[in-house]
Structure 1
Amino acid sequence: MIEAKYANLCPICSRDLETREIFENKCKEKNRPLCYFEEEKLLQEFLKFFEKGIGKARALQKFWAKRILRGESFAAVAPTGIGKSSFGIAMSLFLATKGRKSYLIFPTTLLVQQAVETINKIAERTGVSNEDIIFYHGKIKEKEEFFERLREKKFSILITTTQFLAKHFEDLRDITFNFIFVDDVDAILKASRNIDRILHLLGFYYDGKWKGKAKGILMVSTATAKKGKKAELFRQLLNFDIGSSYFTIRNIEDIYVNEESEEKIKEILSKMGKGGIIYARSIEDCEKWYEKLKNEFNIGLVTSKNKEAFNAFKEGKIDYLIGTAYYYGALIRGIDLPKEIKYAVFIGAPIIRIKIEEIDALSPAMIKFIANLFRQREEIKKFIPILPNIEKRKEFYELKEKIKMIMEEGIKEEKDFVLRKGEIIFPDIRTYIQGAGRTSRLLAGGITKGASFLLEDDVDLLNAFLERASYYDIEFKKLENVDFDALKKDIEESRKVKKGIKEDLIKPALFVVESPTKAKQIARFFGKPSIKVIDSAIAYEVATEKYVLLITASLGHVTDLITNRGFHGVELNGTFIP
């Protein structure tokens, strides 16, 4: 260890801070911890509560707890499956013991039901009463009692879907929450008025512009969809901005086959056994495959209107589920059963199809995206320099006509999408990552292993899908190269309960550079960062393979050698101490 002294920088005694004190986290003058903050006592209480209810908190969960207990709103930058939902649920229950009100918002009825089960288990393990918890979804029987308790504010924790927030906001209007947890911010951002509603529930009010101060804390997930301008209010009023990241912690064997036959699907289901989720492109395809498979396999069909099969699957009464590969669908985002779901089967690659007759109705952002795909075409090159603001120029109409001409020709020149006469087909990797991600989740003993099978008849589309997937470090292997026995063994072993917790797979880390421009550039290497404003300093928050980085700028040297002590700031008493 290189010895050094930082003049007058000890946060406890305001005298010199020595390297040894930093490593020991203790001021030798006052014999007190260097980093003991006001919320530390409450944090230790929460960590004991969390360990009793769920298990030992991970580094990221401790980081989030510190933020909430010191009153900070933020976007939780973390890969899928790291434990955001269980953390939000546990925190709401802990805050209830302190007389605080919390609102937990989930995107689907299935996730509301799972959240209610989870919070009841945590309440039982921690000895906290669950009588002050109320929840709502379409199938609850005691609706009158629910609304009566809601109106009279006789609850500590409210759990609903995003849809409830929109439909029943008038019943919520007079309530101010101390903590709001949004499990899937994309579902909130789909309707910009939901942002207004959440701000109101946190204590702000609108009088020509938003006024007031936050009386509560907001924790949201990072976005994967477009945010919209309303989301900027989070930065203006709550000092954070929502970023977007496609980074995920996944331990999945990705497998492909250029075939969508009934024989091949049955072969995979037979070899892999129970615990499979099957995704088809449309509800019609789901119903078709359900009819073909139901006599041979114990399978259930999940639709937006019928989710009974989900409960049967959870209880072990059926072995497989089939639903649509839709990004906001119940089986893509609305299900979290890490031990039960072991593999996924995609019958047809998830895609986004744009037809030539739809071009005029597309948003400017989508037109720009398509123009960038064709940027090497001579007829498109002249538009690229003016693309950022082209919707405000007369050339916008001309650009759309040029795109139509290219689509009419249908000559494919790219590797990662398919251009055919009159249409463009994009691989929908985002939906694939979310759906396949149901098979690999983070448990106390580590991350579970899963498998994902992609069956696609169209060789051009399959190749485009594999190419675009490689941009996300997803590498597929051929079905013929799969050792099913070894794969099944690995999947089962990863789900066995293991004593203790392995080293955290991902941790928070501070990354300091000198220049604000450099901080922003580095952050953008990993996606669109979330932004946190701390005492006027900006920190960019992004997820990487091993860390959630908080990247900020020092705006100069953090420390410099002083000139009024030692030899130009260096002590030479037999040692060398700057």
Structure 2
Amino acid sequence: MLIYEDLCPICGKDLSFEEIEKGICLTEKKKICEELGFEFESFFEKCVAPLREIQRMWAKRILRGESFSLVAPTGIGKTSFGLSMALFLATKGKKSYVIFPTSLLVKQAVSTLKLFAEKLKLDAGFNEIKNISIGFYYSEVKKDEFVENLRNFDIIITTSQFLAKNFEMLKDFRFHFIFVDDVDAVLKSSKNVDRILQVLAREEKGVLVVSTATAKVGRKAELFRKVLNFSIGSSQFYLRNIEDVIANGASLGEILTKLGKGGIIYARSIEECEKLYENLKDFRVGIVTSKDSKDFELFLKGEIDHLIGTAHHYGALVRGIDLPEKVRFAVFIGCPVHGIKVEDIDRVSPSMLKILAHLYRDDERIEKFIPKLRFVEKVSEELRKALKEVMTEKEVLVKDAVVRKGEIIFPDVRTYLQASGRTSRLTVSGLTKGASFVFESDEEILRAFIERAKIFDLSFKSFSEIDLERLRKEIDESREVRREVKLIKPALFIVESPTKAKQIARFFGKPGIRFIDSVPVYEVPTENYLLLITATLGHITDLVTNRGFHGVEGFTPIYTTIKRCKNCGTQFTESTCPKCKGNEFEDSR
């Protein structure tokens, strides 16, 4: 039992432990923390579903005019949230700019907004002027018509590539809300950060929200921190319900036949995609690339059963689709990888140079550079020359990579997670089930891929363990039956020291950071919570000195806020300074 003196937020009197437990002020019979509804909540429910706790927190931040990094696992509903917020703000006369990494996602966003507008009975025009005007552009849209109405659109939707190539058209615009659906793609061009900050209506408390699940952030993104008080983090957790299967020895035709429609087949190159297309014509397949997405439209209409695309980090079918009802399983013809050959050494980044140096650190020609890697730019030229020599001559045994003479192959598990994640998405009915099959003939690559996947808590079954008929039934049922799913929720974690807050946040991944009155708040997703970790910068309360015996009545301690006198610097808990009797003080309240 305890009492907090004069700290009840309802009546301003003592707050007892009983009141804290019940959440009720016993003096005025009112809830201490009552969640008040707000207009966007009902708006979102009509568009999508009731707001989840994490989405409610995001909405409140935006409506308060706070910019932030929206760090959450894939499949949590970030895109639907961003689109509905842009539409909501459009009804309030505020302009929004939504940026996607691929044309396919622009198309899907337009379809989603059409559905939202229909549900809300809004008079919305798409690339035409109506009560709410939504402009969108990708390669198949007539650019002249889009540009002609550009200034009249309430919401503009483009790819990050459009932003980079056509910034002259946008540079004089000022948007109240900018939503970047995949900040990784934006950061590929360092100038995009400057461009986004230029068109954000900062003088009118314009809000920038960047969404990411796997961002690798460069120095340019530090501008977000300097200008808008936040930095970008990334998630180590993935919301997925997927059977991961090593399918060596199985038949691709058998998988397509028994699992039915809705497969995405990933290959390592366009050439391999074209070969697969020729060999699988009997299965009604189509090819989708960044330059040609006609077959994607046929897939949406049900005229094609499966799609083929490349397994690259920015591939059109890796990040470019969000169709939980249609996409049911994935097949990888070869593990996603990225390789470095001797001839690439002159072009690799300083961070990759460090990785390569550590791989060959046992060679005396490389060993001497290890202590200097902190300042790798200064020894870059010599190190590159030494690496070329060593790579040409040596093979090295590494658990989670393949090091051969003249080449190093790194498993690309992040791309695998992004691509296979298309098969399992969070919907109103719950988390859909998907399946992912990997064919890999190179045993060394397969071994390294499985080893690297362990870092992400991925484990693979063999094909012999899978009953395809049963799996198909589970995949179908997950899209038909409404199920409860344990959703990530925000949780506040308070410690005393900012250093400790930073250390704890880093246990769970790379945290995003927001600054509130210059105090850092670290945000990092865990399996069940979005942790907001911050520090009090010292004690907040202490025992009172004017009640009971040194602040204890019977066995009940009585706490109140700590004050510091502005005149003499004395720290105390009473209502006036006991030393100089001054009434001007700082209060930890």
TM-score normalized by the length of structure 1? 0.90
Q: Which residue of 1 aligns with 2:245?
A: 255
Q: How much is the aligned-residue C-alpha RMSD, in angstroms?
A: 2.2
1:356 equivalent in alignment to 2:356: no
Deviation of 1:408 (Å)? 2.2
Bigger shift: residues 263-272 or 468-477: 263-272
The verdict on how the C-alpha distance between 1:56 and 1:347 changes in structure 2, with shifts beyond 3 A counting, is same
Q: Which residue of 2 aligns with 1:340?
A: 326
1:389 equivalent in alignment to 2:375: yes
Distance of 1:328 and 1:215 partners within structure 2: 32
1:234 equivalent in alignment to 2:218: no
Structure 1 gaps, min length 5: 205-212
Distance of 1:461 and 1:107 partners within structure 2: 29
Contact 2:543–2:558 at 8 Å: present in 1 too?
no
Deviation of 1:22 (Å)? 3.5
Deviation of 1:558 (Å)? 3.6
Contact 1:186–1:223 at 8 Å: present in 2 too?
no
Identity of aligned residues (%): 58
The verdict on how the C-alpha distance between 1:297 and 1:174 changes in structure 2, with shifts beyond 3 A counting, is same
Distance of 1:256 and 1:509 partners within structure 2: 37
Q: Which residue of 2 aligns with 1:158?
A: 156
Distance of 2:74 and 2:293 partners within structure 1: 23
Q: Which residue of 2 aligns with 1:413?
A: 397
1:520 equivalent in alignment to 2:466: no
Q: Which residue of 2 aligns with 1:218?
A: 208
1:551 equivalent in alignment to 2:538: no
Q: Which residue of 2 aligns with 1:68?
A: 62
Deviation of 1:226 (Å)? 3.2
Deviation of 1:225 (Å)? 4.4
1:276-314 deviation line (CA, Å, top 9, x unaligned): 0000000010001100111x2111111222111111111
1:477 is aligned with what amino acid?
K
Contact 1:539–1:552 at 8 Å: present in 2 too?
yes
The verdict on how the C-alpha distance between 1:223 and 1:337 changes in structure 2, with shifts beyond 3 A counting, is closer
Distance of 1:463 and 1:166 partners within structure 2: 40
The verdict on how the C-alpha distance between 1:21 and 1:238 changes in structure 2, with shifts beyond 3 A counting, is farther
Bigger shift: residues 106-115 or 381-390: 381-390
Contact 2:424–2:431 at 8 Å: present in 1 too?
yes
Contact 2:160–2:185 at 8 Å: present in 1 too?
yes
1:288 equivalent in alignment to 2:275: yes
Bigger shift: residues 548-557 or 318-327: 548-557
Aligned length: 553
Distance of 1:491 and 1:223 partners within structure 2: 24
Secondary structure, counterpart of 1:254 in structure 2: strand
Contact 2:137–2:143 at 8 Å: present in 1 too?
no
1:450 is aligned with what amino acid?
G
1:330 equivalent in alignment to 2:330: no
TM-score normalized by the length of structure 2? 0.89
Distance of 2:542 and 2:97 partners within structure 1: 48
1:162 is aligned with what amino acid?
S
Deviation of 1:562 (Å)? 2.4
Deviation of 1:525 (Å)? 1.7
Distance of 2:53 and 2:454 partners within structure 1: 30
Deviation of 1:71 (Å)? 1.1
Q: Which residue of 2 aligns with 1:444?
A: 428
2:41 is aligned with what amino acid?
L
1:420-475 deviation line (CA, Å, top 9, x unaligned): 11111111111111101101111112211111111001001110100001111000
Find 1:265's aligned residue among 247, 252, 257: 252
Q: Which residue of 1 aligns with 2:134?
A: 134
Structure 2 gaps, min length 5: 125-129, 560-589
Contact 1:258–1:459 at 8 Å: present in 2 too?
no
Contact 1:245–1:543 at 8 Å: present in 2 too?
yes
Deviation of 1:158 (Å)? 1.6
The verdict on how the C-alpha distance between 1:347 and 1:514 changes in structure 2, with shifts beyond 3 A counting, is same
Secondary structure, counterpart of 2:542 in structure 1: coil
Q: Which residue of 2 aligns with 1:277?
A: 264
Contact 2:544–2:558 at 8 Å: present in 1 too?
no
1:113 is aligned with what amino acid?
K
1:46 equivalent in alignment to 2:40: yes
Q: Which residue of 2 aligns with 1:495?
A: 479
Bigger shift: residues 372-381 or 562-571: 372-381
The verdict on how the C-alpha distance between 1:194 and 1:141 changes in structure 2, with shifts beyond 3 A counting, is closer
Q: Which runs of 4+ in 1 moved over 6 A?
A: 575-578
Contact 1:258–1:458 at 8 Å: present in 2 too?
no
Contact 2:243–2:435 at 8 Å: present in 1 too?
yes
Deviation of 1:166 (Å)? 2.0
Q: Which residue of 2 aligns with 1:88?
A: 82
Distance of 1:164 and 1:135 partners within structure 2: 13
Bigger shift: residues 461-470 or 309-318: 309-318
Q: Larger radius of gyration, structure 1 or 2? A: 2
Distance of 1:8 and 1:406 partners within structure 2: 71
Secondary structure, counterpart of 2:319 in structure 1: coil
Distance of 1:239 and 1:10 partners within structure 2: 32
Secondary structure, counterpart of 2:307 in structure 1: strand
2:339 is aligned with what amino acid?
R
